[in-house]
């Protein structure tokens, strides 16, 4: 009887110990699972800054995304005027510091207005609005970003001047149109990007800022979609490489929240 | 539904997911710290409270709620999709309560709904907002202008701040939206802030439900 009771007690103790260990194991596994889920979520959020959520999910699930689609986006192309000449006269360390300061400020102005910096091309910036997620206000966002870039550059130029460094001048071209978007590249280097004449036209319009001696130019497609509270003035149409007809552009002066547009007051 | 769920079952799951859109926004926008709740669940005290909560939350037979009629108030089609589910009554009461409150004018709240519907591509929500705002005397052209530009000199000072803010509650990074929320809070009363957050959260949930249900 005593032996049986002792055996039973031993079994109970063993069970309790086993249960305790199992609970600790489960708790540890739950903790690891939660940590892994947190890491995955962070990864998804980080990647969502570079590609649409569906593309990120494809890559996580399959390692690759073959998803490509046509979409209407607003393309902003910015470039520094005369920077190549400037670069030849500056110490490389100073040059890189100036350029990185410029990219930092411009990127912030773009992302603050829901744009996505697609790539840096030399001293140029290609930014997209409405590419990563549907954005009905993409054109206004791009124009607001351009004005924010103008203000940020003026501020940066003041900083550079205080350090005895030369001021920068920038040209921005904005165009809205249909592009093909998808994951593009080789096994060695892939990126989420867009292809289409809209991208080329934005770059060409940016080049026209030199001819028109202005800093922000938009196409007629942008003007048509733009909030009327932006003040624009028309530039004479000019020919650009790759297009048969001259391109009409509009310089963006400012945004005035108090401007009243022409909409009937009553039904 | 491809997995074999019935339409009402799918709608109920969508409701549960949409409810998170509400709690998520309320918690994030008002910066409600989750730690006290989380740490309470892990505390020894909760072990004693848990059976009591479980008893209180146990399923009980209850009288079926009358299904809200399709023409029973704003966003009726979304509520109707939940027909037969207790969630229908919950959603109906939430919407009716939010729109009945007088802290913010109904026009302001409906403008927020319209903006959120536009951002989410929710045709149903935008249509409902249009119908209501037309009855309030806002011409379709004026609403088009507001929705196209998230602003208009025809908006009053409070609407001029809440309309663009509504758009930001659709997709956001917590730190950025909380910074915007702090900016917005200046000049609004505590009641107005709470109501604006509640409306934004509810409109996000309803429009998300509408988009998914339409796709079902």
At B4-62, the pLDDT tens digits run 888 778 888 889 999 999 999 999 999 887 777 777 777 888 888 888 888 888 877 76
Q: Kindly state whether residue A136 falls inside one of the protein's structural domains.
A: yes
What's residue A261's pLDDT? Answer: 47
Lowest mean pLDDT among A55-59, A173-177, B79-83: A55-59
In this structure, what token pair is assigned to residue A113? 């207005």
β-strand partners of A252: A232
Q: Do A259 and B151 touch (CB under 8 A)?
A: no
What's residue B165's pLDDT? Answer: 96
Lowest mean pLDDT among A7-11, A218-222, B107-111, B192-196: A7-11
Q: By the 8 A CB rule, do A240 and A207 touch? A: yes
For B27, half-sphere exposure in the C-beta direction (CA atoms, 13 angstrom radius) is 11
What's residue B66's pLDDT? Answer: 63
Q: What percentage of chain A exceeds 70 in pLDDT?
A: 92
Q: What is the mean pLDDT of chain B?
A: 87
Q: Do A266 and B139 touch (CB under 8 A)?
A: yes
Q: Averaged over A223-238, what is the pLDDT?
A: 95
DSSP states of chain A as a string? -HHHHHHHHHHHHHHHHHHHHHHHHHHHHHHHHHHHHHHHHHHHHHHTTTS-HHHHHHHHHHS----EEEEEEEEEEEEETTHHHHHHTS-HHHHHHHHHHHHHHHHHHHHTTTEEEEEEETTEEEEEESSSS--TTHHHHHHHHHHHHHHHHHHHHHHHHHTT-PPP-EEEEEEEEEEEEEEEE-SS-EEEEEESHHHHHHHHHHHHHHHHT-SEEEEHHHHHHS-TTEEEEEEEEE--TT-SSPEEEEEEEEE-TTPPP---S--
Higher pLDDT, residue A38 or A81? A81
Sort strands A170-185 and A216-219 into parallel, antiparallel or unpaired: parallel
Q: By the 8 A CB rule, do B131 and B121 touch? A: no
Residue for token pair 């490489």 = A241
A262, A263, A264, A267: best mutation site toward chain B, by most B Cβ within 10 Å?
Answer: A263
Residues A221 and A185 in one domain: yes
Task: Indicate if the pLDDT at residue A107 is higher than 90.
Answer: yes
pLDDT 10s digits, A31-64: 888 888 888 777 777 776 677 776 777 677 766 6
Higher pLDDT, residue B44 or A92? A92
In this structure, what token pair is assigned to residue B210? 């509408």
Q: Which domain does A120 fall in, by range?
A: 53-255
Chain B interface residues facing chain A, Cβ-Cβ under 8 Å?
A: 118-119, 121, 134, 137, 139-142, 144-145, 147-154, 160, 167, 171
Chain A interface residues facing chain B, Cβ-Cβ under 8 Å?
A: 133-134, 136-137, 140, 227-229, 257-261, 263-267
Query: Could you count the other beta carbons within 10 Å of the beta carbon of residue B95?
Result: 23
Residues A136 and A223 in one domain: yes
Give the nearest partner residue to A133 out of B142, B160, B171, using CB atoms: B171
Q: Kindly state whether residue A263 falls inside one of the protein's structural domains.
A: no
Cα–Cα distance, B119 to B122 (Å, whole number): 8
Structural domain total, chain A: 2
Closest CA to B119 of B168, B162, B78: B168
Closest CA to B98 of B125, B78, B74: B74
Residues A10 and A73 in one domain: no
Sort strands A216-219 and A190-195 into parallel, antiparallel or unpaired: unpaired
Q: Kindly state whether residue A262 falls inside one of the protein's structural domains.
A: no
Angle (CA) B27-B31-B34 rounded to 5° is 60
Cα–Cα distance, A267 to A22 (Å, whole number): 71
Angle (CA) B58-B59-B63 rounded to 5° is 140
Residues A43 and A155 in one domain: no
What's residue A262's pLDDT? Answer: 45
B24, B132, B147, B149: best mutation site toward chain A, by most A Cβ within 10 Å?
Answer: B149
Residues of chain A contacting B150 with CB distance shorter than 8 Å: 137, 140
Q: Kindly state whether residue A115 falls inside one of the protein's structural domains.
A: yes
What are the residue boundaries of the structural domains of chain B, listed by start?
7-30+68-215
Q: Kindly state whether residue A133 falls inside one of the protein's structural domains.
A: yes
What's residue B215's pLDDT? Answer: 54
Q: Domain ends where: A25, A47, A69?
A: A47
Residues A200 and A84 in one domain: yes
What's residue A267's pLDDT? Answer: 36
Residues A124 and A16 in one domain: no
Residues A66 and A157 in one domain: yes
Q: What is the mean pLDDT of chain A?
A: 88
Task: Indicate if the pLDDT at residue A9 is higher than 50.
Answer: yes
Residues A7 and A68 in one domain: no
Q: Kindly state whether residue A142 falls inside one of the protein's structural domains.
A: yes
pLDDT 10s digits, B149-191: 999 888 999 999 999 999 999 988 888 899 999 999 998 999 9
In this structure, what token pair is assigned to residue B29? 């926008």
- How far off is chain A from B150, nearest CA to CA, in Å? 8
Residues A189 and A228 in one domain: yes
B7-30+68-215, CATH topology level = AhpD-like (1.20.1290)
Q: Kindly state whether residue A265 falls inside one of the protein's structural domains.
A: no
Q: Kindly state whether residue A38 falls inside one of the protein's structural domains.
A: yes
Task: Indicate if the pLDDT at residue B64 is higher than 70.
Answer: no
Residues A80 and A176 in one domain: yes
Q: Averaged over B85-111, what is the pLDDT?
A: 91
Q: Do A265 and B119 touch (CB under 8 A)?
A: no
Higher pLDDT, residue B120 or A59? B120
Cα–Cα distance, B83 to B215 (Å, whole number): 17
Task: Indicate if the pLDDT at residue A266 is higher than 60.
Answer: no
pTM of the shown model: 0.80
Print burial letters for B67-82: b (CB count within 10 Å at least 16), e (below 16).
Answer: bbeeebbbbbebbbbb
What's residue B122's pLDDT? Answer: 92
pLDDT 10s digits, A116-162: 999 899 999 999 999 888 899 999 999 999 999 999 999 999 999 99
B142, B174, B179, B180: best mutation site toward chain A, by most A Cβ within 10 Å?
Answer: B142
């Amino acid at each position: 009887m005593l032996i049986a009771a002792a055996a039973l007690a031993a079994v109970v103790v063993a069970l309790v110990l086993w249960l305790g260990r199992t609970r600790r194991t489960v708790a540890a596994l739950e903790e690891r699972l939660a940590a892994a889920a947190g890491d995955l979520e962070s990864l998804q959020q980080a990647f969502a800054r570079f590609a649409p959520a569906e593309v990120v999910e494809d890559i996580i699930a399959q390692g690759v995304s073959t998803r490509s689609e046509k979409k209407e986006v607003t393309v902003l192309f910015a470039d520094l005027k005369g920077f190549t000449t400037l670069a030849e006269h500056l110490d490389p360390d100073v040059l890189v510091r100036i350029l990185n300061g410029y990219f930092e400020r411009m990127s912030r102005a773009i992302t603050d207005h829901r744009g996505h910096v697609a790539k840096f091309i030399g001293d140029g910036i290609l930014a997209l609005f409405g590419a990563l997620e549907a954005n009905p206000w993409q054109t206004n966002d791009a124009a607001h970003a351009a004005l924010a870039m103008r203000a940020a550059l003026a501020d940066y130029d003041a900083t550079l001047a205080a350090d005895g460094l030369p001021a920068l001048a920038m040209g921005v071209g904005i165009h809205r149109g249909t592009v093909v978007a998808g994951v593009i590249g080789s096994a060695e280097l892939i990126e989420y990007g867009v292809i289409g004449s809209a991208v080329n036209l934005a770059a060409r319009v940016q080049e026209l800022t030199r001819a028109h001696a202005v800093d922000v130019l938009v196409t007629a497609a942008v003007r048509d979609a733009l909030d009327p509270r932006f003040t624009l003035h028309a530039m004479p149409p000019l020919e650009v490489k790759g297009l048969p007809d001259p391109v009409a552009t509009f310089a963006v002066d400012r945004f005035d929240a108090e401007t009243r547009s022409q909409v009937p007051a009553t039904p | 539904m491809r997995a074999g769920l019935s339409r009402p079952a799918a709608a109920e799951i969508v409701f549960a997911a949409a409810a998170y859109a509400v709690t998520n926004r309320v918690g994030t926008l008002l910066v409600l710290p989750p730690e006290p709740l989380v740490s309470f669940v892990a505390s020894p005290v909760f072990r004693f409270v848990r059976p009591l909560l479980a008893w209180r939350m146990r399923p009980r037979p209850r009288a079926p709620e009358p299904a809200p009629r399709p023409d029973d108030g704003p966003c009726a089609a979304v509520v109707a999709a939940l027909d037969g589910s207790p969630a229908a009554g919950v959603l109906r009461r939430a919407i009716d309560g939010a729109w009945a409150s007088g802290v913010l004018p109904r026009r302001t709240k409906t403008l927020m709904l319209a903006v959120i519907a536009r951002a989410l591509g929710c045709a149903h929500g935008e249509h409902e907002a249009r119908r209501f705002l037309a009855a309030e005397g806002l011409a379709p052209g004026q609403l088009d202008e507001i929705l196209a530009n998230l602003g208009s000199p025809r908006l009053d000072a409070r609407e001029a701040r809440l309309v663009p803010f509504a758009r930001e509650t659709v997709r956001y990074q917590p730190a950025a939206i909380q910074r915007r929320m702090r900016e917005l809070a200046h000049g609004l009363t505590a009641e107005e802030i709470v109501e604006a957050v509640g409306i934004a959260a509810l409109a996000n949930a309803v429009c998300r439900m509408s988009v998914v249900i339409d796709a079902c």
